[in-house]
Structure formats: structure tokens, C-alpha cells
Amino acid sequence: MGCIFCEFVKGRKKHKNNYPLIFIHKTKETCSFLSIPDNKKETHLLIIPKKHISFFEDLPPKILNDLAYHLLLSCKVIKEEYPAYNILLNNRKEAEQYINHVHFHIIPKKKNKEPAWVNLTKEQFEELSKNLREKFKKLSTKQ
């Protein structure tokens, strides 16, 4: 089996936990979507390059620039509703990178420092995806 993120980009694969794969935002080189771990607890936003690139240091400048801009837009969208967020990049096996495809996690936090999106039902997950997509559209047109 190939890279699960590459399969997502090609439209050949869905989340294995029965939640839909809904792209939140796309650029020429990148895309973002909500990810829900197997334990179904902490949902977060993932941003990936569309092209398969395993490790951060291998990103070509063009894709790196697009990825950085997508990350910036994502943080602006999250900051509209939440006071803080974590940005996480695990790079290589020793750093707990389980999928060898560059990907940033953005985890919104509530005022009490707890993750904002926890134990979402499928319906809540779909509604959140829709709302985030709308926020990206509005922000993208302002830029």
C-alpha cells in the first residue's frame, strides 16, 4: 500500500474510522483537512503538500512557500474562534512521524488549554469542516 495522504489527494481513500474526508482548503501545492485519530478524541487540522515529500528538509522552495502560506491562513482562521493553538510537525521516525509524508497538525486550544475539538460526532465533524471551509473562503478573498 502506498502513502495514505497521497491516496487522499487522489480521492482514492477515505478516513478509516467512517468519518468523511472533506478538504477544507486547497492551494496549487497543498491541501488541508480535518483528521480524527483512531481514538476519536482530539480532532485537528492537517496541512499537507499534494506531492509526496517524506521529510521537511526535502521540501522544494516553491512547495515550502505554499505550505507556509497555507499554514499562516490556517492559523488566522483558527485564531478567529480560539485563543490559541499548537502547530506540530513530527519529522522522521525518531520524532514519531508515523506517515512519511510532510504534514503539519494544528490543534486549536480553549482558554483552559484543552483541545477545542474533542469527541466529535460524525455530524459535528462535517459541520466543523463546512464552517472552516467558509472561513477559509472569506479570508482567501481578502488576501
Query: To which residue does cell 478516513 refer?
Result: 15
Residue 1, pLDDT > 60, answer no
Instruction: Determine whether 105 is an active site residue.
Output: no
Residue 95, pLDDT > 90, answer no
Q: Distances from the Cα of 24 to the Cαs of 21, 109, 117, in angstroms?
A: 9, 19, 15
- How much is the pLDDT for 17? 73
Mean confidence (pLDDT) of the chain = 90
**Domains parsed from the chain with CATH numbers:** 4-142 (3.30.428.10)
Cα–Cα nearest to 92, from 80, 101, 79: 101
User: Measured between alpha carbons, how far is 17 from 37 in angstroms, rounded to an integer?
Assistant: 8
Residue 38, pLDDT > 90, answer no
Residue 90: which residues within 8 A CB-CB, separation 6 or more? 96, 97, 98
User: What's the pLDDT tens digit per position in 40-56?
Assistant: 678 999 999 999 999 99
Pick the catalytic residue from 15, 101, 103, 105. Answer: 103
